Amino acid sequence: MLESLANESAAVSIRDVSKKFGTTTVLDDINFDVAQDEIVVLLGASGSGKTTILRIISGLEMPGTGRVMLHGKDVTNLPARLRGTGVIFQSYALFPKMNVEQNIAYGLKLRRRSKSEIRKTIDRLVGMVHLEDHRKKYPSQLSGGQQQRVAIARALAYEPEVLLFDEPFGALDAQIRASLRREIRKLLKEIKVPSIFITHDQEEALELGDRIAVLNSGRIEQIATPYEVYTNPATEYVATFLGSANIIEGVIRGRTFQSEEISLEIPSDYDFRDGQPAKLVIRPEDIFLRRPENLMQNYQQLTEGVVEETSFVGAFERVGVRLPTHDGQRLIATRPKTETAAFQLYAGQRVTVGVVRFRILPDLTRLPLHANRAV
């Protein structure tokens, strides 16, 4: 199969990789590439298979079927020490009784590199990760972010063909985590080492990755740029796992999506047959709760609704709206501060519910259409 052929220009190629533990399938036909200076994030819930993929690439686990290629070379059967991969764990695994320089140099000494080479490598890497003022400090004297940078420098000392990050920011508090991931992305772009991160943090995936692979039960549901995955989710799982989404069940009638009182024109690039069950996916920020007098975007009215509640969430307001469906489906909308200041809402108020962007997905369950629901 064409999609199973390794991309010889890729730094990493994973082809037809599957894995079972006993009778349980943890990976099912995994295929993706990583370019030389690319950052790919494997995003999924616990048990989705992302850690197993990382262990297979590093050589800590063998696939049941499939191949692992690094720069066109098949390394599937090579032991971990011969693969040239650098792994950075959440715990960092630094030696507590070694300072920054000694931690970085440890692997080089095991490989019997010369003292002059080790010194040059330490100087280069300490500068690269911006730890010049901390090179004589021990791990206990460093912040979590500084320890993370030491772990990266130590991995880079081996001149790895690919860097693998196993939930590297999970032990840090939110503020440090946000600043460090921007710093690490900038660093990786400077050194141009292909990198694979695994995480369950959606914001982390969106900010770090050149591409995101969303995993569900051992399969890749979608792999694309953060914008594409968020804006055009390929499946309902992707839509609801990466961010929040309102889901309305309905049916395709000609060039419209219909569900009770809702009739929405769909773009010509959708290929549905008449009468096909489908699901309407709307991000909360793509819902507008007033008539579009001053709205520049393409706007379609869904229906009228009643505001149930409003809540202030810092950068935006979250609004719950009950639709006049037979089961009273509830939608969630978010509004920026400028919108809330110009047009205040209160519980019990009737509003016009419109959308500026949406996604139509086939309803693969093929179940008879009944109550709509929101996710």
Q: Are 59 and 29 in the same domain? A: yes
pTM: 0.86
Q: Are 151 and 251 in the same domain? A: no
pLDDT tops 50 at residue 177: yes
- Least confidently predicted of 156-165, 242-251, 292-301, 347-356: 292-301
More confident residue, 182 or 257: 257
Q: Are 341 and 284 in the same domain? A: yes
Domain-embedded: residue 368: no
pLDDT tops 90 at residue 268: no
Within 8 A by CB and 6+ apart from 124, the residues are none
- Per the prediction, the chain carries an average pLDDT of 88
pLDDT tops 70 at residue 171: no
- Least confidently predicted of 235-249, 276-290, 293-307: 293-307
pLDDT of residue 282: 97
Domain-embedded: residue 372: no
More confident residue, 191 or 138: 138
C-alpha 273/C-alpha 327 separation (Å) is: 27
Domain-embedded: residue 225: yes
Q: Mark which of 237, 264, 299 sits at the end of a domain.
A: 237
How far the first Cα of the chain sits from its last, in Å, is: 37
198, 180, 197, 205: which is closest to 129 by C-alpha?
A: 180
Q: Mark which of 237, 257, 282 sits at the end of a domain.
A: 237
Residue with tokens 């694309």: 224
pLDDT tops 70 at residue 8: no
Tell me if 212 sits within 8 A of 43, measured CB to CB: yes
Q: Are 271 and 311 in the same domain? A: yes
262's tokens: 């809702």
Average pLDDT over residues 168-194: 80
- CATH number of the domain encompassing residue 11: 3.40.50.300
What's CA 352's distance to the chain center, in Å?
A: 33
- If one counts the domains in the chain, the total is 2
Q: How confident is the model at residue 367 (pLDDT cuts 50, 70, 90)?
A: low
The burial class, CB within 10 Å (0-12 / 13-18 / 19+), for 215 is buried
Domain containing residue 36: 2-237
Amino acid at 155: A
- CATH number of the domain encompassing residue 272: 2.40.50.100
Q: pLDDT by residue (tens digit) across 300-315?
A: 999 999 999 999 988 8
C-alpha 285/C-alpha 357 separation (Å) is: 9
Q: Are 223 and 298 in the same domain? A: no
β-strands 162-166, 85-89: how paired?
parallel
Q: How confident is the model at residue 371 (pLDDT cuts 50, 70, 90)?
A: very low
Q: pLDDT by residue (tens digit) across 201-233?
A: 898 999 999 999 999 999 999 999 999 999 999
pLDDT tops 70 at residue 2: no
pLDDT tops 60 at residue 16: yes
Q: Mark which of 194, 216, 237 sits at the end of a domain.
A: 237
Q: What percent of the chain has pLDDT over 70?
A: 93
Average pLDDT over residues 265-293: 89
Q: Are 9 and 73 in the same domain? A: yes
Contacts of 297-301 with CB under 8 Å at 24 or more apart are 297/356, 297/357, 298/356, 299/354, 299/355, 299/356, 300/264, 300/265, 300/354, 300/355, 301/352, 301/353, 301/354
